[in-house]
């Protein structure tokens, strides 16, 4: 009897050992294996949307505004963005979204790596798959370009310290060293050329209820035009800008249609001017300038407000809310609200107006002053009531005027600081826009004009060259 | 075959003894006060002959004619060896309570006599736990056990503490010990629903031998709590009740009052004017413009320019502002009420005993709105039917808690921040009430009133149901072979609710959709409010089966060998939602919510997830004792965790320990002054499976489901690490247990060396890879130290006893290697080879330049500079983990009176005082916050020697904000009186009465200038300080 009891017990022990083997193999319930992730074109579609999800467009807007002369500190600011506004950033405290864009690149690379193994079941799916590949490729180029704009040198000289073009999925232990501007541009151009020759739709397509949230050939051409400006390849810039305008089928908006762009009024229907937007729900872009409780962090600078004719220029009231009673204090109205809720508004990544400005700048550089004047006149006519066309007579004036028009037209859209850096122009703020002369002017020779690579990257990857001065 | 013969021979020998002539001895076992002890074991040494005493303490035992002594033992009392002669027929024994170092060690897998225990373990007796007015028992352990670092991060009632035994063994994984209650592992850090008054004792298992029983989960030590059990005999009903108050402790700093703040503003204005004048722009913007202290100042140039009537008006303005002096501490803090009641019934028969208790605990925090209310139930049953012994443990607790907002964060919603940052010249109430906000003076910049309104505008609470159930049975198959099983459940469900009430100021200033900043005053959609509810459930099930063999050979060789299998399954599940648009008639219920639609945009949000991990183990324990003189313990264990890849999943853990009882040697026969002397040594390894910093699926590349503006997306979650492995901790311990002068002086000394290999390191991949930091096994860390516990009965006689006890521990922690990784920053500290974990890393403060008022810093190579650069950070400021910790206690008892004091200390560590950064920073005054009184010394003139920099410079986070946080705390003082039997007289109703009063956290000696030097992390950021509690109590037994 005892023997039986003991044997029974041993048997139980043994059985539990075998039974537990199975219990130790646990399939996670909140995440899933990469090997089952991309199985269909629909999965790829979701992967591509994940790339857009990583695109921190508001970061570009915010940094361009607070580093440049677009805004001034409100007296309700409790420290938000003050270090950056005063150029007191250091490599340890500011990342300027270095990681965010590489995360976007990694997602693009992962989609592109998996796409080959995804089977398209019919011709429609095959086309969709090709479009998704082109989209991921273009997104990869866009992310690299954002990085280059931030961390590249003043004037973006080809041999200068650029960023590394990453077009494969890296393992966690890889530590790429730093590439030049030229290397980055080569990678960006190759990806954009590939996307241009794909079966992407020409014009921006309105996704129902979302607007133009997907990349089209028009956007790719527009990005090519931007890239050409940084390369100072004026002919290419002019051509690409023309292509973008043609491909998009968009015209400059006027009147209420123009004002409506900034509240996403017609985003899901006619989508005026906009080539590509980042959809924002929940807490949104408006909180860059003003806290949810109403405290204002940044006001439009006096310098910017002075640029406009307050009565004839439609942009003034579209971009600002002015309280003349309180010493002309103003709020940024351009990215502030929509029908989806206060401070919830989309990021506009590219508009047709910018294409006119690119082409004008390129033409002026190519000494086609008549062409440059024509583009500027087209734009101004759409914005200013009773506008009298002008004719540029010398290149220098033309460039100054065009850069100023960019300042006015593209305010808060993420261009100003990059433009000054690209053209090698200093940041000059008005005395009334600063509380100390210490942060009034930043000459282009100052090392702080080029943003620091985050120290966490240098620490992990000592082979990566930091920008001078940090 | 030879072994079998030996075995049979041995059995025959034992049998022979049984057949020899026997006689019966009867007697009675009592405690030192004469009360009968039921269930005490009476045995004949070196035999299997034993019996238990009955309810009245009586026993009857048949002993062989050759027997010359009886051993009487009882848990909590010293063993007693009673000599018997050849003709003895009665023996009465009175047992003396054992001190902490005596008795038994409860390992969770069983009980072992300390005299044959080879591990390092300490016991906290019920006396140190009962009546302490703290809801979470881990906090009660502070200073009670050498080497156990207990630091509470919050004085919120019910908050649990950070507990670390013999230093941290992991950089990114858990360093907390494993908690076991009555053999059932329980979730750590969630003790609010467990009643410490139900505890009989808490054993802390420290070294490899002690921890090896828990194998892969034991590397950080094990805390084993044992709940009370019934005793055979009379049914005892007892009641314990306490009432008391909670108040704020000592504060080491002072904020400015209205007059001082106005004076400071004037000083700032004058300085700013002087700067502007020097720059040739006397009418330029003044830093103090808009502050009443400057606008109305006579030093303001506009004052001289004003008319006499205007001047008089300004003077009156200043007087009226100065006369408002709101004491914000009186507004936000309170004296809380503390009450607790416990009722328990215990008793039973020879075969079945029970213990049943109910407890009610109610504590109000020192901050408005914070409290805890707990109800607990327990039923413990023991049954013994000869061959089968069974123990059932069941505990159930239900707790509700209300919280302050944003605790431990630098936000104005945190009352502990607002109370100091609020302006003293603002009043709490306004004379022009708002139709929504009533008469609270809320609005932009109204720090104090806004935070005060939030206390009523929001609810933050949770309720928790916690259950612990365990069933343990052992069946004696033969006299020597036993088998059994243990099944345990640990269940916890926390239901948390956060409400922003509609149409309140807090809702009004919140983001859409809680409250839109619409200006339409009659818009019914204004200030909608929100309701968030979440549910988190954890369910841990463990089962263990065992079979063992024990025997005694030749009356000298004791062996006990057993084989166990154990399976633990840990399931968790959580979900929650947030809805918007509350009806203000129904503020605290989901039924109050407005359904969301595309038009009203009140779309509810949700969260949720679930998971499971499993651990399977098979292990063998062997113990051999020779003549109670030498003991050898051996453990071999194989653990498999579902969190690890198959190739590293199953691992073996070993330990070996030895104990030498020196006094059993012949050479020590005449060491009369020495009453205990044992040498222990152990070596073994274990791991950290309870604190893996990884989730299921971490060993392969994974994706996660997400969404982009409502469109579903697939995102890479982790690249996966196929080489994930255990963190192996190997520990060597050598210890000494000693007692002198008939145990008047007792103590325990331990020296240990603990090395953890394969430490999880958060690999920071190049940011260019796009991956978040990943865990990989690489580093090595060492903890070594020495621990001493001493207890001395200075006076010990019938009417007077005076006892002093102390425990001290020193731990040296050092990171030995980071494998292939470079050093990295972790928050405000750096992980660097050669330094201890948690070493502060910041730029060194160099004072204020008296000539310019500029702050100065030291560069990395020690030069003074006025340019701040993060690159100059150094790690010369020590660590936030106290290396030297301990406690001491003393008690005096004169007849029924007893006075006991208990102190704890933590020495040799420093912490960031983030409060200083805010309170000694002119920039925050410019934003409308109050500052500390020291700010009146702000630099304003060349040559002024001060450490407060000029107001036109930038205040940086430097070593200036690191402070020595060492402290000595008068933790508890208790005075009690036990009514003598003469007063209770002959009535049969009440058997004992004890009344007492106590003070908890009476005083703290420290150089720290924040609220409280004690905290569970490296930085003080407006934590809820530990309250001071006074209570009065009574214990009655019937």
Question: Beta-carbon neighbour count of residue A142 at 10 Å?
Answer: 30
In degrees and rounded to multiples of 5, residue A248 shows phi and psi of -70, -30
pLDDT of residue A293: 65
In chain B, which among 665-724 make CB contacts under 8 A with chain A? 695-697, 700-721
**Range among A89-93, B47-51, B375-379 with highest mean pLDDT value:** B375-379
* Across A4-18, A284-298, B190-204, B322-336, least confident range: A4-18
Distance from B989 to chain A by nearest Cα, in Å? 51
SS3 B172: coil
Q: How far apart are CA B748 and CA B805, in angstroms?
A: 12
SS3 B704: strand
- What Cα–Cα distance (Å) separates residue A37 from each residue in A43, A52, B474? 7, 18, 50
Q: How far apart are CA B14 and CA A265, in angstroms?
A: 98
Rg (CA), chain B: 33
pLDDT of residue B859: 94
Distance from A150 to chain B by nearest Cα, in Å? 15
The arithmetic mean of pLDDT across residues A281-295, rounded, is 78
Chain B contact set for A90 (CB, 8 A): 868-871
Residue A92 contacts B where some CB pair is shorter than 8 Å: yes
Q: pLDDT band for A26, please (50, 70, 90 cuts).
A: confident
Q: pLDDT band for B742, please (50, 70, 90 cuts).
A: confident
In chain A, which among 446-465 make CB contacts under 8 A with chain B? 454-457, 459-462, 464
Element at B313 (helix H, strand E)? helix B308-323
Tell me the pLDDT tens digit for each residue of A70-95. 999 987 787 788 889 999 887 766 78
Q: How far apart are CA B20 and CA A468, in angstroms?
A: 97
Quick one: closest CA in B to A341, which residue?
B512
Mutate to test the interface with A, among B276, B543, B716, B724 (most CBs of A within 10 A): B716
Query: Would you call the peptide bond into B513 cis, given omega within 30 degrees of 0 as the criterion?
Result: yes
pLDDT of residue A8: 52
Interface contact flag, A341 B767, Cβ < 8 Å: no
Between A303 and B169, the more confident residue is: A303
pLDDT of residue A79: 76
Q: What percentage of chain B reaches a pLDDT higher than 90? A: 54
Instruction: Tell which residue, B599, B610, B600, has the closest CA to residue B576.
Output: B610
Residue B855 contacts A where some CB pair is shorter than 8 Å: no
pLDDT of residue B281: 82
pLDDT of residue B104: 64
pLDDT of residue B44: 82
Q: How far apart are CA A106 and CA A50, in angstroms?
A: 11
pLDDT of residue B359: 96
Q: pLDDT band for B502, please (50, 70, 90 cuts).
A: confident
Tell me the pLDDT tens digit for each residue of B90-130. 888 877 765 433 456 666 566 777 778 888 888 898 888 88
Q: What is the mean pLDDT of chain B?
A: 87
Distance from B702 to chain A by nearest Cα, in Å? 4
Q: pLDDT band for B6, please (50, 70, 90 cuts).
A: very low
Distance from A29 to chain B by nearest Cα, in Å? 6
Q: How far apart are CA A141 and CA A144, in angstroms?
A: 5
Is residue A181 within 8 Å of A162, Cβ to Cβ? yes
Q: pLDDT band for B85, please (50, 70, 90 cuts).
A: confident
**What does the DSSP 8-state code read for residue B462?**
E
The arithmetic mean of pLDDT across residues B826-841, rounded, is 91
Tell me the pLDDT tens digit for each residue of B578-613. 999 898 888 678 999 988 887 777 889 999 999 999
Q: How many CB pairs under 8 A join A and B?
A: 236
Is residue B840 within 8 Å of B879, Cβ to Cβ? yes
pLDDT at A7 over 70: no
Beta strands in B208-351 (DSSP E): 222-227, 233-247, 336-348
Q: pLDDT band for B89, please (50, 70, 90 cuts).
A: confident
In chain A, which among 260-289 make CB contacts under 8 A with chain B? 279-281, 283, 287
User: What burial letters (b/e) apply to A8-44, b meaning 16+ CB within 10 Å?
Assistant: ebeeebeebeeebeebbebebeebbebeebbeebebb
pLDDT of residue B520: 57
Interface contact flag, B614 A99, Cβ < 8 Å: no
For residue A114, give both structure tokens: 């998996």
pLDDT of residue A1: 47
pLDDT of residue B5: 39
Interface contact flag, B703 A33, Cβ < 8 Å: yes
Residue B767 contacts A where some CB pair is shorter than 8 Å: yes
Who among A9, A171, A176 is closest to B719 (CB)?
Answer: A171
Tell me the pLDDT tens digit for each residue of B899-926. 999 999 999 999 998 888 889 999 888 8
pLDDT of residue B869: 84
DSSP H stretches of helix in A300-450: 302-306, 314-319, 352-365, 369-383, 395-409, 416-423
pLDDT of residue A438: 85
Is residue B421 within 8 Å of B447, Cβ to Cβ? yes
Between B415 and A340, the more confident residue is: B415
**What does the DSSP 8-state code read for residue B274?**
H
Q: pLDDT band for B624, please (50, 70, 90 cuts).
A: very high
Chain A contact set for B639 (CB, 8 A): none
Q: How far apart are CA A322 and CA B529, in angstroms?
A: 30
Who among A50, A88, A171 is closest to B715 (CB)?
Answer: A50
- What Cα–Cα distance (Å) separates residue B518 from each residue in B528, B581, B841? 12, 15, 46
Interface contact flag, A455 B870, Cβ < 8 Å: yes
Is residue B598 within 8 Å of B630, Cβ to Cβ? no
Tell me the pLDDT tens digit for each residue of A104-137. 999 999 999 999 999 999 999 999 999 999 999 9
Interface contact flag, B640 A46, Cβ < 8 Å: no
Tell me the pLDDT tens digit for each residue of B971-984. 999 999 998 877 77
pLDDT of residue B523: 59
pLDDT at B43 over 90: no
pLDDT of residue B789: 95
pLDDT at A313 over 70: yes
């Amino acid at each position: 009897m005892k023997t039986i009891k003991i044997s029974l017990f041993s048997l139980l022990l043994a059985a539990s050992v075998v039974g537990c083997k199975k219990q130790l193999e646990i399939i996670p319930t909140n995440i899933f294996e990469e090997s089952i992730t991309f199985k269909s074109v629909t999965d790829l579609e979701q992967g591509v949307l994940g790339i857009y999800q990583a695109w921190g467009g508001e970061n570009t807007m915010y940094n361009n505004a607070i580093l440049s002369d677009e805004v001034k500190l409100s007296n309700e600011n409790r420290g938000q963005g003050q270090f950056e506004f005063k150029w007191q950033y250091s490599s340890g405290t500011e990342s300027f979204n270095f990681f965010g864009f590489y995360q976007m690149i990694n997602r693009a690379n992962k989609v592109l790596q998996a796409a080959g193994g995804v089977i398209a079941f019919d011709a429609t799916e095959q086309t969709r798959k090709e479009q998704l590949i082109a989209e991921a490729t273009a997104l990869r180029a866009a992310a690299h370009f954002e990085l280059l704009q931030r961390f590249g040198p003043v004037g973006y000289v080809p041999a200068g310290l650029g960023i590394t073009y990453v077009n494969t999925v890296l393992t966690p232990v890889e530590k790429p060293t730093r590439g030049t501007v030229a290397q980055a541009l080569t990678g960006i151009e190759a990806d954009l050329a590939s996307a241009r020759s794909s079966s992407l739709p020409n014009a921006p397509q309105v996704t129902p209820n979302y607007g133009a949230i997907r990349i089209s050939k028009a956007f790719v051409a527009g990005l090519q035009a931007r890239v050409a400006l940084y390369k100072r390849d004026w002919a290419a810039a002019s051509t690409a800008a023309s292509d973008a305008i043609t491909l998009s089928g968009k015209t400059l908006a006027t009147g209420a249609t123009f004002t409506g762009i900034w509240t996403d009024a017609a985003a899901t229907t006619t989508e005026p001017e906009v080539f590509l937007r980042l959809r924002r729900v929940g807490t949104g872009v408006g909180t860059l300038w003003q806290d949810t409780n109403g405290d204002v962090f940044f006001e439009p600078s006096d310098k910017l407000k002075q640029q406009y004719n307050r009565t004839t220029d439609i942009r003034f009231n579209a971009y600002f809310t002015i309280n003349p009673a309180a010493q002309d204090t103003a709020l940024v109205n351009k990215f502030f609200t929509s029908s989806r809720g206060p401070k919830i508004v989309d990021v506009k990544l590219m508009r047709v107006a910018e294409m006119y400005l690119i082409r004008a700048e390129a033409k002026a550089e190519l000494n086609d002053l008549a062409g440059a004047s024509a583009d500027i006149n087209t734009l101004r006519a759409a914005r200013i009531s009773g506008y009298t066309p002008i004719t540029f007579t010398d290149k220098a004036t033309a460039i100054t005027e065009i850069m100023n028009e960019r300042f006015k037209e593209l305010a808060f859209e993420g261009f100003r600081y990059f433009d000054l850096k690209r053209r090698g122009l200093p940041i000059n703020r008005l005395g009334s826009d600063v509380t100390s002369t210490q942060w009034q002017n930043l000459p282009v020779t100052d090392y702080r004009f080029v943003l620091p690579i985050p120290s966490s990257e240098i620490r992990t990857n000592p082979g990566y060259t930091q920008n001078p001065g940090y | 075959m030879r072994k079998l013969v030996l075995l049979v021979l041995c059995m025959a020998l034992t049998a022979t003894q049984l057949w020899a002539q026997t006689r019966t001895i009867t007697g009675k076992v009592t405690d030192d006060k004469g009360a009968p002890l039921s269930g005490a074991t009476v045995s004949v040494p070196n035999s299997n002959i034993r019996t238990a005493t009955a309810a009245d303490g009586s026993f009857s035992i048949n002993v062989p004619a050759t027997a010359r002594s009886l051993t009487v033992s009882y848990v909590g009392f010293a063993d007693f060896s009673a000599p018997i002669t050849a003709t003895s027929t009665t023996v009465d024994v009175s047992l003396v309570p054992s001190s902490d170092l005596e008795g038994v060690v409860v390992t969770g897998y069983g009980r072992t006599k300390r005299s044959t225990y080879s591990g390092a373990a300490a016991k906290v007796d019920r006396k140190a736990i009962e009546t302490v007015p703290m809801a979470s028992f881990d906090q009660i352990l502070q200073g009670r056990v050498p080497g156990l670092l207990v630091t509470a991060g919050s004085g919120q009632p019910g908050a649990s503490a950070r507990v670390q035994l013999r230093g941290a063994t992991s950089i990114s994984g858990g360093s907390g010990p494993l908690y076991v209650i009555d053999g059932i592992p329980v979730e750590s850090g969630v003790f609010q629903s467990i009643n410490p008054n139900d505890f009989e004792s808490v054993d802390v298992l420290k070294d490899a031998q002690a921890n090896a029983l828990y194998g892969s989960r034991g590397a950080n030590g094990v805390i084993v709590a044992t709940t009370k059990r019934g005793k055979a005999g009379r049914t005892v009903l007892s009641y314990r009740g306490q009432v008391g108050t909670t108040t704020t402790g000592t504060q080491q700093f002072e904020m400015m009052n209205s007059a001082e703040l106005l004076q400071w503003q004037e000083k700032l204005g004058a300085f700013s004017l002087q700067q502007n004048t020097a720059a040739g722009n006397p009418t330029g913007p003044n830093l103090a413009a808009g502050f009443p202290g400057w606008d109305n100042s006579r030093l303001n140039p506009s004052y001289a320019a004003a008319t006499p009537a205007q001047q008089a008006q300004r003077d009156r303005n200043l007087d009226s502002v100065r006369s408002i002096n709101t004491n914000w501490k009186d507004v936000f803090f309170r004296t809380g009420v503390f009450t607790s009641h416990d009722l328990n019934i215990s008793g039973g028969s020879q075969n079945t005993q029970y213990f049943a208790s109910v407890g009610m605990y109610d504590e109000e925090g020192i901050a408005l709105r914070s409290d805890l209310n707990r109800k607990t139930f327990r039923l413990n049953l023991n049954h013994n039917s000869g061959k089968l012994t069974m123990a059932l443990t069941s505990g159930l607790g239900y707790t509700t808690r209300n919280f302050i907002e944003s605790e431990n964060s630098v936000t104005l919603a945190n009352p502990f921040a607002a109370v100091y940052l609020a302006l003293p010249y603002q009043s709490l109430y306004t004379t022009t009430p708002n139709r929504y906000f009533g008469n609270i003076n809320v609005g932009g910049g109204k720090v104090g009133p806004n935070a005060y309104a939030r206390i009523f505008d929001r609810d933050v609470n949770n309720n928790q149901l916690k259950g612990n159930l365990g069933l343990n049975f052992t069946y004696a198959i033969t006299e020597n072979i036993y088998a059994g099983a243990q099944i345990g459940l640990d269940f916890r469900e926390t239901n948390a609710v956060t409400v922003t009430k509609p149409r309140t100021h807090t809702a009004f200033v919140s983001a859409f959709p809680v409250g839109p900043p619409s200006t339409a005053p009659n818009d019914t959609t204004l200030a909608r409010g929100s309701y968030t509810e979440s549910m988190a459930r954890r369910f841990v099930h463990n089962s263990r089966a065992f079979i063992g063999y024990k025997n005694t050979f030749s009356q000298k060789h004791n062996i006990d060998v057993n084989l166990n299998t154990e399976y633990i399954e840990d399931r968790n599940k959580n979900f929650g939602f947030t809805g918007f648009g509350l009806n203000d008639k129904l503020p605290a219920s989901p039924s109050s919510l407005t359904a969301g639609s595309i038009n009203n945009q009140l779309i509810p949000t949700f969260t949720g997830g679930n998971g499971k991990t499993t651990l399977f183990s098979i292990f063998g324990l062997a113990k051999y004792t020779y003549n109670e003189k030498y003991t050898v313990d051996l453990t071999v264990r194989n653990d498999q965790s579902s969190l690890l890849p198959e190739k590293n999943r199953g691992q073996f853990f070993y330990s070996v320990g030895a104990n030498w009882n020196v006094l059993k040697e012949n050479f020590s026969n005449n060491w009369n002054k020495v009453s205990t002397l044992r040498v222990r040594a152990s070596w073994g390894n274990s791991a950290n499976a309870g604190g893996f910093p990884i989730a299921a699926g971490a060993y392969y590349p994974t994706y996660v489901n997400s969404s982009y503006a409502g469109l579903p997306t697939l995102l890479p979650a982790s690249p996966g690490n196929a080489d994930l492995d255990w963190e192996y901790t190997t520990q060597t311990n050598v210890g000494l247990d000693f007692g002198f002068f008939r145990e008047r002086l007792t103590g325990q000394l331990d020296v240990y060396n603990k090395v953890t290999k394969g430490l999880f390191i958060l690999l920071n991949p190049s940011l260019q890879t796009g991956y978040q930091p990943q865990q990989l096994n690489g580093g090595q860390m060492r903890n070594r130290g020495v621990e001493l516990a001493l207890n001395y009965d200075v006076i010990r006689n019938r009417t007077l006893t005076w006892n002093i006890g102390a425990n001290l521990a020193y731990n040296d922690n050092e990171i030995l290697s980071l494998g292939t990784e470079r050093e990295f920053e972790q928050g405000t500290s750096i992980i660097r080879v050669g330094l201890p974990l948690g070493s502060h890393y910041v730029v060194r403060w160099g004072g204020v330049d008296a000539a310019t008022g500029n702050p100065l810093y030291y560069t990395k190579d020690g030069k003074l500079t006025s340019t701040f650069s993060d690159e100059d950070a150094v790690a010369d400021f020590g660590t936030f983990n106290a290396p030297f910790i301990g406690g001491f206690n003393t008690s005096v008892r004169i007849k029924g009176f007893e006075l006991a004091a208990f102190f704890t200390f933590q020495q040799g560590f420093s912490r960031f005082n983030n409060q200083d950064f805010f309170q000694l920073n002119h920039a925050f005054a410019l934003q409308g916050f109050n500052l500390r009184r020291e700010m009146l010394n702000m630099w304003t003139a060349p040559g002024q020697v001060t450490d407060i920099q000029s107001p036109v410079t930038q205040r940086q986070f430097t070593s200036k904000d690191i402070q020595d946080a060492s402290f000595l705390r008068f933790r508890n003082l208790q005075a009690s009186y036990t009514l003598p039997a003469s007063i209770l007289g002959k009535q049969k109703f009440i058997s004992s009465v004890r009344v007492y009063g106590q003070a908890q956290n009476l005083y703290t000696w420290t150089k720290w200038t924040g609220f409280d030097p004690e905290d569970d992390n490296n930085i003080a950021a407006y934590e809820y300080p530990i309250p001071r509690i006074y209570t009065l109590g009574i214990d009655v037994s019937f």
